[in-house]
Amino acid sequence: MPRPHVLLSAAVSLDGFLDDTGPERLLLSGPADFDRVDEVRASCDAILVGAGTLRADNPRLLVNSAERRAARVAEGRPAYPLKATVSGSGDLDPRARFWHTGGEKVLYTTDAGARLAADLLRDLPGVEVVTTGPDVDWRVLLEHLHDVRGVRRLMVEGGGRVHTQLVTEGLADELQLALAPLFVGQPDAPRLFGPGAYPPGRMRLVETRPVGDVVLARYVPTAPGTGGAASAADRRWLALACELAAACPPSETAFSVGAVVVAADGTELARGHSREGGDAVAHAEEAALAKIDPADPRLPGATVYSSLEPCARRASRPAPCARLVLDAGVRRVVTAWREPDTFVPQADGSAVLAAAGADVVLLPEYEERAQAPNRHLPGDAPRGRA
């Protein structure tokens, strides 16, 4: 199912609360973190909150910086990201600031909720009401955002119930937590996550840094059965690499391979495929990495997705792709297919990468897709990448 990159964002106390039980909103972040959140909002195509957050906080969910709005417009995007909310009942206050600020809005609800919402929100311009069926279906919601609204990067700002549902359903690709230096200690206060059947395994930490007096921690979820290293986002990016392999000019003597380089925050840095640009001996990873400034600070935290493992040796150029990946500073590779010993004996790019400390993840369920563009080649495996 194509869907956006789903980024969960929240500020929490040291004991895991989103707020206290007082009548006023507890401010967990300071000016520096508010500005960081504004920057993240500006980078996204849509911002989503649950109905409970709308009722409790009455947020506007805007990009506050005029410079960031201007930059979005210069890129051909609307000044404000699409604003989305979710309500099973459809019972929402049409006077809320959410509806009267920013650009377009969309409400995702149930069949029954859509009937009530259509009446409550009928006088509000630029509001779309979308039903996901008899119940709120997050997969339908995300597919609609992706396919109909063109959302590729979605920021979710709460509340705790929404965050819990997305994580337990395996639909969250990134978690950004601002950890505030205070305790709440009230058992009835709202928590970031509630009880649920969470995916097993440890999450992977990709960044920590101070932002004012809070600490930002960024995690990506992991999946069982892959050494605790592959997420839903990994699978989507690897599927794209396999699609790029199918775009390669055909060859009778070399593999068709696709590659994508993706930053830790889910931003695509570059993509490439074999023989790109008329270069008969270009490899996919080589083509993608050549498009990135070697000084880009995102490279050390990036992942290379390649339909075939980066080569360990090659005849056409001095540096094999495994070495190019390492020299770029990348230390994580996700691949679908190990290179057969039909062209380069004992080719083992994964071993070269692992020996240098890189994390190599093999997702064999994508092997057939990676092999498909190479079916025309003779033998039980293609003849190599040259």
At 55-114, the pLDDT tens digits run 999 999 999 999 999 999 999 999 999 999 999 999 999 999 999 999 999 999 999 999
Q: Are 44 and 212 in contact (CB under 8 A)?
A: no
225 confidence band (pLDDT: 50, 70, 90)? very low
Residue 336 sits at φ, ψ, to 5 deg, of -105, -20
Number of separate domains in the chain: 2
| Residue 323, H or E segment | helix 321-327
* Token pair 């549902």 in the structure block, residue: 165
Residue in 235, 223, 224 with CA at minimum distance from that of residue 262: 235
Task: Indicate the SS3 state at residue 185.
Answer: coil
Distance CA 142, CA 114 (A): 17
Q: Which of 41, 31, 47, 38 is nearest to 214 (CA)?
A: 31
In a domain, 114, yes or no: yes
Half-sphere exposure of 254 (CA within 13 A, CB side): 24
Rounded alpha-carbon distances, angstroms, from residue 73 to 69, 80, 291: 6, 9, 25
Residues 21 and 85 in one domain: yes
Whether residue 194 sits in one domain with residue 123 = yes
Pick the last residue of a domain from 191, 220, 249. Answer: 220
Q: Are residue 86 and residue 53 in the same domain, yes or no?
A: yes
Pair 289, 256 in one domain: yes
| 286 occurs within a structural domain | yes
Q: Can you give the pLDDT at residue 369?
A: 93
d(CA 318, CA 313): 8
Is 237 part of a structural domain of the chain?
Answer: yes
Parent domain of 72? 5-220
Q: Are 58 and 97 in contact (CB under 8 A)?
A: yes
Place of tokens 């000016």: 31
Does the pLDDT at position 343 exceed 70? no
Strand partners, 366: none
**Residue 225 domain-assigned (yes or no):** no
Tell whether 381 is covered by a domain: no
Residue given tokens 């995300």 in the structure block: 142
Give the Cβ contact number of residue 201 at 10 Å: 15
Instruction: Give the confidence band of 359 by pLDDT, cuts at 50, 70, 90.
Output: confident
pTM of the full predicted structure? 0.67
Q: Are residues 273 and 368 in the same domain?
A: yes
Q: What does the pLDDT read at residue 378? A: 62
**Using 50, 70 and 90 to split pLDDT, how confident is the model at 14?**
very high
Q: What is the CATH number of the domain that holds 243?
A: 3.40.140.10
234: which residues sit within 8 A by CB, 6+ positions away? Answer: 223, 303, 305, 334, 361, 363
Q: Are residue 243 and residue 206 in the same domain, yes or no?
A: no
The mean pLDDT value for 276-295 works out to 94
Query: Is there a domain that residue 226 lies in?
Result: no
200 shares a domain with 51: yes
What average pLDDT does the chain have? 89
Same domain, 210 and 325: no
Domain termination residue (choose one: 177, 196, 220): 220
92 alpha carbon, distance to own chain's centre: 29
